[in-house]
Amino acid sequence: MSVWRAIAAAALVAAAPALLAGEIPPDARRSGYSFMGPDTRAMQDDDTSNPGMLFVLDGEQLWGKKTGSAEKACADCHGDARSSMKGIAARYPAFDKTLGRPVTLDQRINLCRANRQQAAPLPYESRDLLALSAFVAHQSRGVAITAGDDPQAKPFVEQGRELFAQREGQLNLACTNCHDDNFDKHLAGAPITQGQPTGYPLYRLEWQTLGSLERRLRSCMSGVRAQAYDYGSPELVALELYLMSRTRGLPMETPAVRP
């Protein structure tokens, strides 16, 4: 499937007009939900049918579970997530003053584990980390995204913007070639969206599981035959920050469902 996607991507861009669309104006930005078919929308809308909700329920259990040598649970510090975590995911990645750089929600969870719970970090894309991220982000469902508002984060937003527009890989394509210039078209039968990350971590039918935005970015890089950045790398964090900043104002949907 990835081979055909790569061939289709090359053909799509080759057929694109010489004058490309450029960055999408804020008032024209749309969630990936608007590109989905009725069956996928219905799956996301019904919590009893949305498979991502199984991870949210797992995350709720982990929230109250004591762990690490400190024998602390997330709830011991943060209390009821329904109130304490409301709106939190909508501003991530967020600038960390101690580290002097932005961190993702996954990284924040692991920092809390290390510093507060004296526990080992959870591996990227592990079920427990995805479950905790989904549970925390789910508390912000319907809340407008505000990531990138911190002035200290601006240089990293610009780094992400440059990476988004940078051609790479054997196909010599940039993120913007698909998601700014050719959205509303199809690639190997799948709709091309604007790449607005309103619902991560989300459930992809292609994956048959929940996955992070970093996994999606790495998949796109592999699709254009480029070397994917490592999970947690500064480049992936900057890309995630830029994408979330350009999604500013759209509501959180976690856990979203996509093809």
Q: Is the peptide bond before 255 cis (omega within 30 degrees of 0)?
A: yes
Check 74, 175, 178, 220 and give the catalytic one: 220
| CA 198 to chain CA mean position, Å | 7
Give which of 189, 162, 133, 145 is closest to 29, Cα–Cα: 145
DSSP result, the chain: -HHHHHHHHHHHHHTS-SS---SPPGGG---GGGGS-HHHHHHHH-TTT-TTHHHHHHHHHHHT--BTTTTB-HHHHH--HHHHTTTTGGG-SEEETTTTEEE-HHHHHHHHIIIII--PPPPTT-HHHHHHHHHHHHTTBTPBP-TT-SGGGHHHHHHHHHHHT--BTTTTB-HHHHHTTSTTSEETTEEP------S-SEEETTTTEEE-HHHHHHHHHHHTT-PPPPTT-HHHHHHHHHHHHHTTTSBB-SSPEE-
Distance, in Å, from the CA atom of 239 to the CA atom of 157, rounded to the nearest integer, reads 8
220 is catalytic: yes
Active site residues: 220
